[in-house]
Structure 1
Amino acid sequence: MKAVQYVEVGSAPEVREIPVPEPKPGQIRLRVLAAGLCHSDWFIMGLPAEAYSYPLPLTLGHEAVGVVDKLGEGVTEFAVGDDVAVYGPWGCGACAECARGRENYCPNAAKLGIHPPGLGSPGGMAEYLIVDNARHLVPLQGLDPVAAVALTDAGLTPYHAIKNVIDKLPGGSTAVVIGTGGLGHVGIQILRALTSATVIALDVTEEKLEHARSVGAHHTVLSNSEAPAAIRELTGGIGADVVFDFVGATPTLETARASVRVDGAIEVVGIGGGTVPTGFGSTPFGVSVRAPYWGSRDELMEVLGLARTGQLSVSVERFDIADAPTAYARLHEGTIVGRAVVVP
């Protein structure tokens, strides 16, 4: 089968021919219908050799949907032919967090060598994918796989971040979204669906700001050193109740720190490598700063439910598997509007 793999540290991903995997007892094999590209993929491919700890070659793709193709011994929860989405943050399945469906916060996964598909385990950017356990599958129930695949991360991650602070976003509140790309443009829609907050979107080009307006942003501001003043002006000098930073670089985190109101919150979703100082005198009184990770299994079900009712959609650019390296290059260059999806 064809698979998109990271083969050598520092090299670009390649399309290679590898054997079709066979499911072991308790596992499920999917025929992949679509796989999403993410900046997290570039994060691991950008690690230096001394920091890279995953096996090579590594099949990429932690956003995946497919059709159940073959069942390992003992699997009864799904049948061949079922269309499913993959819940990516795999945990041990035995701890209190996993029991609550919050495998994204499993304290045992790393020490047990359990990794998400595409982020340590063989991923979904291939013709077939092995899923380790039936609990890591969620029924698609008729959703278009190409349109829905990015919801498994680009939808789930902002949804989880927003639900954490939803009590701070009643009517009359303001939410700032920094970075309106793959996750941010979905975050805008989730804010509009779940809250009555006014949404202010920040990005670096007018094209991206126009896209943000098209998916529901009330106001748009160029992301630069003048953005905090613009946010203060739009909020009557008070500042934003919550700032969601989908970039996570030092300049954007400084914008977040300078834009949040007293007793507000900053959700650092992006993995841009920046940090934000917090504490007495460095952030306004009462401000919480949090770095959320992915989301829970029930939250993925809720995200897919929003998509089925038409309240949530992902802007998608589709690529054949042979063009995946080109798609990754464009993602790295920042020329993808929305989310890139590979269709094997």
Structure 2
Amino acid sequence: MKAYQLLAPGRADLTDVDVPSPGPGEVLLRVAGCGVCHSDLHLLHASGLPYPMTLGHEPAGTVAELGAGVHGWEVGQGALAYIVWGCGMCRRCAEGAENACERFPRGLVPGPGLGYPGAMAEYMVAPARSLVPLGGLDPVEAAPLADAGLTPYHAIDRCRALLTPAATAVVIGVGGLGHLAVQILRAVTGSRIVAVDVDPARLAAAEGFGADETVLSDEEAAGRVLELTKGVGADVVLDFVGSGPTLSLAAGVLSSYGCLTVVGLAGGTLAFPAASPPQGLPWGAAVTKPYAGTRRDLHEVLALARQGRIRARVQRWPLAAATSVLAELEAGTIEGRAVLTP
């Protein structure tokens, strides 16, 4: 079968590999679509990975074969794969939070395309417990929900208590994850949503996804957000970029006792002097750094999709175009989420 693999730091290509066989408790998934993420770019430029490694951590498809001891799944059934595969035995895994598996303290819990062979291929193997039924959703359209839906949903859920009808939520970066964050906020909260981005076209799209206000991300952005909130600031700020400028903007518009959630991994640093405001963060501020989400979160994301309340903005590409897609993603020309189809 064809698989798009990391071969060395900075080098990836389409290769021929054997179709994997599912072991006990595993399922062979025929991949229908795999979303492409900025994390794939991070891996491409990283080193010390288990080469060769098939990329792709947003897998959706149909069950092709069941391993020994697997029950509850049928060949041909549509499924989406949960993207973090913990030990299944620790306290966190027992509550469905494999994204915080205690076998990987303070580290990255691996998953498909993130340590294990991923879904930029014709087939992939996954633990049966990590699959969630698609329930009639188009697997290509649904594939990005494995991460681009799960991650913002989890980030929003962690600060749900603050997201009242009287609250303001700011979404910084309305690209692959951010455009779904706007939709999720609209679906599960009554809060006012302010979308912030450097691209006017993305801001226009954010209005269609449910944003109440849009703000161009420039040197005047913080002032405009504060003006919208009558100087109080936002109760929740979700930064889907994570650069120095966006973190500074996020801190500058956060309200007292608000929550700043850093999802993006652009390598920025948040200044945090231990001093009274206006230096540093406002009183009572919380900063969180969530990773992926829980299996329960993924079930809830798919429920929202089946209800028609969220939908990823998808561009379909053939698997053979993976190198070109990563180049376009790095150049910032992908709108929404690119999905590779074998």
Do the two structures share a fold, i.e. TM-score over 0.5?
A: yes
Question: Is the contact between residue 179 and residue 201 of structure 1 (CA under 8 Å) also seen in structure 2?
Answer: yes
Q: Could you list the runs of 5+ residues in structure 1 that have no partner in the other structure?
A: none
Aligned to 2:5: 5
Relative to structure 1, the CA distance from residue 284 to residue 113 in structure 2 (aligned partners, 3 Å threshold; closer, same or farther) is closer
Deviation per residue, 1:1-30 (Å, 9 max, x gap): 01111112122x311111111112222111
Deviates more, 1:151-160 or 1:66-75: 66-75
**1:63 CA drift (Å):** 0.4
DSSP 3-state at the match of 1:7: strand
**1:277 CA drift (Å):** 2.8
Relative to structure 1, the CA distance from residue 222 to residue 114 in structure 2 (aligned partners, 3 Å threshold; closer, same or farther) is closer
Aligned to 2:169: 175
Aligned to 2:157: 163
Deviation per residue, 1:278-304 (Å, 9 max, x gap): 344310000000000000001100000
Deviation per residue, 1:46-85 (Å, 9 max, x gap): 22xxxx2321111000000111111111112312111110
Aligned to 1:300: 298
Question: What is the alpha-carbon distance in structure 1 between the residues aligned to residue 109 and residue 67 of structure 2?
Answer: 19
Map of 1:201-240 to 2, 5 A cutoff? 201-240=195-234
Relative to structure 1, the CA distance from residue 110 to residue 238 in structure 2 (aligned partners, 3 Å threshold; closer, same or farther) is closer
Map of 1:11-30 to 2, 5 A cutoff? 11=11, 13-30=12-29
Question: Is the contact between residue 99 and residue 109 of structure 2 (CA under 8 Å) also seen in structure 1?
Answer: no
**1:114 CA drift (Å):** 6.5
Question: Is the contact between residue 225 and residue 255 of structure 1 (CA under 8 Å) also seen in structure 2?
Answer: no
Question: Is the contact between residue 92 and residue 109 of structure 1 (CA under 8 Å) also seen in structure 2?
Answer: no
Map of 1:87-102 to 2, 5 A cutoff? 87-102=82-97
Question: Is the contact between residue 171 and residue 196 of structure 1 (CA under 8 Å) also seen in structure 2?
Answer: yes
* Letter in structure 2 aligned against 1:16: T
Aligned to 2:319: 321
Equivalent residue for 2:333, pick from 326, 332, 335: 335
Question: What is the alpha-carbon distance in structure 2 between the residues aligned to residue 141 and residue 19 of structure 1?
Answer: 30
Residue 39 of structure 2 corresponds to residue 59 of structure 1 = no
TM normalised by structure 2 equals 0.96
Q: Percent identity?
A: 48
Aligned to 1:134: 128
Aligned to 1:200: 194
Relative to structure 1, the CA distance from residue 280 to residue 92 in structure 2 (aligned partners, 3 Å threshold; closer, same or farther) is farther
- Runs of 4 or more, structure 1, over 6 Å off, are 110-114
Deviation per residue, 1:101-120 (Å, 9 max, x gap): 00001020479997211011
Question: What is the alpha-carbon distance in structure 1 between the residues aligned to residue 213 and residue 302 of structure 2?
Answer: 27
Aligned to 2:70: 75
Question: What is the alpha-carbon distance in structure 1 between the residues aligned to residue 73 and residue 49 of structure 2?
Answer: 30
TM normalised by structure 1 equals 0.95
Relative to structure 1, the CA distance from residue 226 to residue 296 in structure 2 (aligned partners, 3 Å threshold; closer, same or farther) is same
* Letter in structure 1 aligned against 2:84: P
Deviation per residue, 1:246-278 (Å, 9 max, x gap): 001111000000010111010000111112133
Deviates more, 1:88-97 or 1:278-287: 278-287
What RMSD, in angstroms, separates the aligned Cα atoms of the two structures?
A: 1.5
Question: Is the contact between residue 77 and residue 134 of structure 1 (CA under 8 Å) also seen in structure 2?
Answer: no
* Letter in structure 1 aligned against 2:133: P
How many residue pairs were aligned?
Answer: 338
* Letter in structure 2 aligned against 1:296: T
Map of 1:230-269 to 2, 5 A cutoff? 230-269=224-263
Question: What is the alpha-carbon distance in structure 2 between the residues aligned to residue 8 and residue 164 of structure 1?
Answer: 37
